Chains A and B, each alone.
Chain A
Amino acid sequence: MNQSISRPGLSQNALRYRKVRDRIVEVFLLAAGLVAVFTTLAIVAILLYESSAFFEHVPLKDFLTDTMWTPLFADAHYGILPLVAGTLTTTIVALLVAVPLGTTIAIYLSEFAPHKVRETVKPILELLGAVPTVVYGYFALTMVTPFLQIFMPDLPGFNMLSAGLVIGLMIVPYVSSVSEDAMRAVPRYMREGSYAMGATRLQTALRVVVPGAFSGLAAAFILGISRAVGETMVVAIAAGMQPNLTFDPREPAATITAYIVQVSLGDLPHGSIGYQSIFAAGLVLMLITLIFNVIGFSLTRRFREAY
C-alpha cells in the first residue's frame, strides 16, 4: 500500500477497498482470538460429555467413597480416592521442595544479587523449567531413587518420594521467577523507609518486601501447585502405576495423570468404560486445579497491597 499512500488524491474505489480489506482482516484476527475461547469450551464439553457416559455406569457415591480403583479388572472398583491421594502426596512433597528453594532464590535474586548475577542466573534457571519432563522422569528413576536408597534401604524402586522431589525441583524456576517479579514490584520507598529505620537487608526483605509481595507469592505457589498436580511423565515413570490409597511418599502409587497414561498405553476400544474412565479422571484433575486456583485467587484478592 505504500505506493498508494504517496500518490496524492486516492480514488473513491481505492478508499473503499482499503476499508473493506481492513474489515475482513479484523474478522480473521477476531476468529484467531476466539480459538482460545473455543479450546476452553471444547475441553469442558469433551470432559463432561465422556464423563457423563462414565457416570451412567458408576454411581457418584461409589466414585467418591470407594477406596479401590480397578476399572480394568474383572472385579471393577471405581473409587477415585487412591488416585487423588497419590496426586496430593506427590504435590505436597514437590511443594516442600519448591516453596523454600524457590522463595529463597527469589529473595536472593531480588534483594541481594548484583544486577549482573541476576541477569545471568534468571535465564539459566528458566532452562531448568524447560527440560522435557520425560527427562526428569529418567532422572528420578535412575538417579534420585538409587541415591535415596542409600539412606532408606527399604525404599522400593518406584516411589512417590523421588517423583515428588524431582517435580519440586522442576517447578522451582516457576515459583522463583513469579515470586521475584512480585518482590521487585514492591516500591523502592518502602525498602528505603525500612533501611532508614536501621533494618538490614535481610530484615527488610523478610518483614517489608515479603509481606508486601504476599499476593504475588501466593500466585507463584498456586502456579507451582497447578504444575505439580498436572505433572504426568515424572510420576508415570518413577512412582509406579499401581493405585494405592496412601499418603506415605515412600510407597509406590499412581496419580490421576499416571492412570490416564497407563490406560492410553494400552489399546482400549473407544466408548468402553476404561476409555470413559480417563475422562472422569481428567475431570477430577481439572476440578482440583480449579479449586487451588480459586483459593489462590481469593488469597491474592485478600492480601493485595495497593501502592
Chain B
Amino acid sequence: MSANVAPYRNFEALRAGLIRRKMMDKVFVIIGLIVMLACLAILAILFIDLVRDGAPRFSWDFFTNFASRNAARAGILAAWVGTTLVMTVTAVCAVPVGVAAAIYLEEYAPKNWFTAVIEINVTNLAGVPSIVYGLLALGLFVYQFDLGQSIAAAGLTLALLILPIVIVATREAIRSVPNAIREAAYGLGATRWEVTKDHVLPYSTGGVLTGMILGLSRAIGETAPIITIGALSFIAFLPESPFKGEFPFISFAWLNDPFTVMPIQMFNWVSRPDQAFQSNAAAAGAILLGMTLLMNGMAIWIRYRFRKKINW
C-alpha cells in the first residue's frame, strides 16, 4: 500500500481482506476441531466395536478356559496368567534399574562425555523398534543365556523395552524437586545418598509411579518381541504355581515355563480365517484395551494428584 493512495479508496478492499482473513481463522478452528474430534471418535469406535464383537464371548468361562480348537469353548486362562507373570518379571527388573539409572543421571553424573554417552543411549533406545528388542532377546536371552522360550526371557525383554520410559519419567520427577530441599539437607550434613533417599526420592514418588505404570501399559500390549522369542500360542496348561504348600512356600520354577500372553493369544485368533475366532479375538482385544486404558488413566490421575498436592 503506497503512501500516495488515498486511504478511503482502499477502505473497502482492506475490510474485505480483513473479513476474509478472519473467516479463514474461523474455518481453521472448525477444521481443527473436526480433525481432533475425528481422532477421538475413532478411539471410541474402536472400543465400541471391540466390545460389540466380543460381547457374546464375555462370560466367566472365557477367563477360566484354555485355548481350544473349538472357538466357543476357547478362553484366555493361560494368556492372562502368562501376562500377569511376565509383567511381574518386567516390573521387578525394569523399575529398580530404571529408577537407579535416573538417580545416577540426575543426582550423581558429572557433566562429561561419558554421561553424554549414557544419555544419548537412553534417548536412542526409546526409538528402537520393538521387534529389534525381540531379535536381541532371541539371540541373547534365548540362546546365549539359554533361558529358552520362557517367562524369564519374555519378562527381561520387555524390561529392556520399557527401561527408557521408566528412566525418562523418573528423571523428570527428580528434576522437578527444587534445589532448596537438597541444599537444606546437605547443610545439615547429609551425604548425597541420604539426600537422595530421604528427600529427593520421596518427593518423586508420583513420577516414578507414573513411569512404571506407563511402562507396564506399553509392555502389556507388546506382541512383536514376544513372538520373536518364540512364545507358543497354543498352551493348554499353566506355569508352575509360585506358591507352595510346604517350606519355603515360594517357588521360582515358573520362570522357566513356556507361556502365552494376551496379545499373542489375540493375534493367534485374529489370524485364523474362521469367523468364530474373530469374536474371541475381539473379546480378548477389548480386555487388553480396557487394561491399557485403565493403566494410562491411572497414570494421568496420579500425575494430576501429585501435581495438585505438592506446593513447593
Contacts and interface: CB of A to CB of B under 8 A. Distances in A.
Main secondary structure of the interface of B (DSSP, over half): helix
B32 to A, nearest CB: 3
B121 A36 contact: yes
B77 to A, nearest CB: 19
A28 B193 CA distance: 12
B242 interface: no
A212 interface: no
B289 A261 contact: no
B292 interface: yes
B22 interface: yes
Interface stretch (B63-71, B134-142, B176-184, B245-253): B134-142
Contact of B108 (A19, A29, A109, A124): A29
A232 B132 contact: no
A132 interface: yes
Interface in B11-42: 21-22, 24-25, 28-29, 31-33, 35-36, 39-40, 42
A293 B24 CA distance: 35
Nearest to A35: B97
Contact of B29 (A108, A236, A237, A289): A108
Interface residues of B, number: 90
Contacts of A270: 143
B296 A29 contact: no
Contact of A138 (B50, B129, B132): B50
Interface in A64-120: 101, 104-105, 107-109, 112-113
B221 A133 contact: yes
A13 interface: no
Interface in B219-265: 220-224, 227-230, 263
Interface in A221-275: 223, 226, 229-233, 236-237, 257, 260-261, 264-265, 267, 270
B39 A132 contact: no
Contact of A125 (B24, B40, B134, B297): B40
Contacts of A39: 121, 125, 136, 160, 163
Given A19-B191, A293-B127, A135 B46 contact: yes
Interface in B40-83: 40, 42-43, 45-46, 49-50, 53
A260 B135 contact: yes
A112 B140 contact: no
A137 B267 CA distance: 9
B103 A29 contact: yes
Contacts of A109: 32, 36
B208 to A, nearest CB: 14
Contacts of B167: 36
Contact of B104 (A32, A125, A232): A32
Interface string B129-170: 111111110111001000000000000000010011001000
Given A135-B285, A172-B39, A126 B296 contact: yes
Interface string A259-298: 0110011010010000000110010011001000100000
Interface in A25-65: 25-26, 28-37, 39-40, 42-43, 46-47, 49-50
Interface in A124-161: 124-128, 130-135, 137-139, 141-143
A185 interface: no
A226 B288 CA distance: 25
B32 A104 contact: yes
B124 interface: yes
B302 interface: no
A127 B101 contact: no
Contact of A36 (B125, B191, B221): B125
A1 B190 contact: yes
A131 B289 contact: yes
A193 interface: no
Contact of A112 (B22, B29, B189, B285): B29
Contacts of B131: 230, 232, 257, 260-261, 282, 285
A22 B193 contact: yes
B4 interface: no
Q: Of B96, B132, B134, B164, which is in contact with the most chain A CB atoms at under 10 Å from its CB?
A: B132
Given A35-B97, A37-B121, A105-B39, A46 B24 contact: no
Interface string A184-224: 00000000000000001111010000000000000000010
Contacts of B288: 132, 134-135
Given A36-B163, A37-B117, A101-B35, A5 B190 contact: yes
A261 B191 contact: no
B125 A261 contact: no
A1 B139 contact: no
Contacts of A11: none
Nearest to A49: B139
Contacts of A173: 39
Contacts of A233: 223-224, 263, 267
* 5 pairs of A and B residues whose beta carbons are closest in the complex: A230-B129, A132-B221, A108-B32, A32-B100, A29-B104
11 contacts: A29-B101, A33-B104, A36-B101, A43-B132, A113-B32, A123-B300, A126-B296, A130-B217, A172-B39, A200-B25, A230-B128
Given A46-B136, A289-B127, 8 more contacts: A25-B193, A37-B118, A40-B124, A126-B296, A131-B289, A134-B288, A261-B131, A278-B228
